């Protein structure tokens, strides 16, 4: 257990230190981009510590996350629209959701915008929404608009909280790092579970 805590502390310290590096925005953007199309880890792993390290730049970090996430979402959409039979199907199979795609596709006819908005704001892996949106043939422009609203809403809520309460949150996080990492991990796993049960 001590090894795990030490490892968490090293990762946390690296993320905090990385916030001050010139390449920090590139790493954040790359993670946000990849998460929307194929990568399983959310950009919060970089957004949170970077915003804690520099609360005044939380708005910039949220903006980078939003732009990169939407761009990655477009890639996910294209994977679903053009490459679903190969790459798209493999990714959906990887997350164990192949049996639910047709039902999800059918639901787009009536609830497309609502699905994108709600799932973009939740811990449900967004790549599942982007790939299925392309597979379902949902209107690309509405998809982009809904993605901007949903992802921007999610990341800028984090920016508001960390900009205003960053010092308190950082002190609390550093005091109980293992606990809060466990909570975030559970939330992430819960997102996958909800996606599996409800999509």
| CB atoms near residue 10 (< 10 Å) | 10
Structural domain containing residue 125: 2-198
For residue 123, what pLDDT band results from cuts at 50, 70 and 90? low
Average pLDDT (85-102) is: 69
At 61 the pLDDT is 92
Interior CA angle at 68 toward 148 and 196, to 5°?
Answer: 70
Q: What torsion, rounded to 10 degrees, do the Cα atoms 93, 68, 115, 130 define?
A: -30
Tokens of 152: 């921007």
pLDDT of 66 strictly over 90: yes
At 5 the pLDDT is 64
Question: Per-residue DSSP letters for the chain?
Answer: -HHHHHHHHHHHHHHHHHTTSTTHHHHHHHHHHHHTTT-SS-THHHHHHHHHH-GGGHHHHHHHHHHHHHHHHHHHHHHHHHSIIIIIHHHHHHTT-GGGHHHHHHHHHHHHHHHHHHHHHSSS-HHHHHHHHHHHT--HHHHHHHHHHHHHHHHHHHHHHHHHHHHHHHHHHHHTHHHHHHHHHHHHHHHHHHHHHH-
CB 150 within 8 A of CB 43: no
pTM of whole model > 0.85? no
**Number of structural domains found in the chain:** 1
For residue 3, what pLDDT band results from cuts at 50, 70 and 90? very low
Residue 199 CA to residue 183 CA, distance in Å, equals 23
């Amino acid at each position: 257990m001590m090894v795990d805590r030490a490892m968490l502390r090293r990762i946390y310290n690296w993320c905090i230190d990385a916030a001050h590096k010139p390449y920090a925005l590139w790493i954040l953007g790359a993670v946000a981009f990849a998460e929307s199309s194929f990568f399983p880890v959310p950009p919060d792993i970089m957004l949170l510590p970077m915003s804690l390290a520099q609360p005044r730049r939380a708005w910039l970090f949220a903006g980078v996350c939003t732009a990169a996430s939407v761009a990655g979402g477009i890639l996910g959409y294209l994977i679903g629209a053009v490459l679903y039979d190969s790459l798209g199907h493999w990714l959906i199979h990887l997350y164990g959701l192949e049996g639910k795609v047709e039902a999800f596709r059918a639901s787009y006819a009536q609830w497309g915008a609502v699905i994108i908005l709600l799932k973009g704001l939740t811990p449900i892996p967004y790549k599942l929404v982007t790939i299925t949106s392309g597979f379902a043939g949902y209107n690309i422009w509405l998809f982009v608009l809904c993605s901007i609203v949903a992802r921007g809403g999610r990341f800028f809520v984090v920016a508001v909280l960390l900009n205003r309460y960053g010092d308190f949150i950082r002190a609390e996080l550093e005091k109980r790092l293992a606990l809060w990492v466990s909570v975030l991990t559970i939330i992430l796993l819960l997102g996958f579970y909800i996606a599996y049960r409800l999509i």
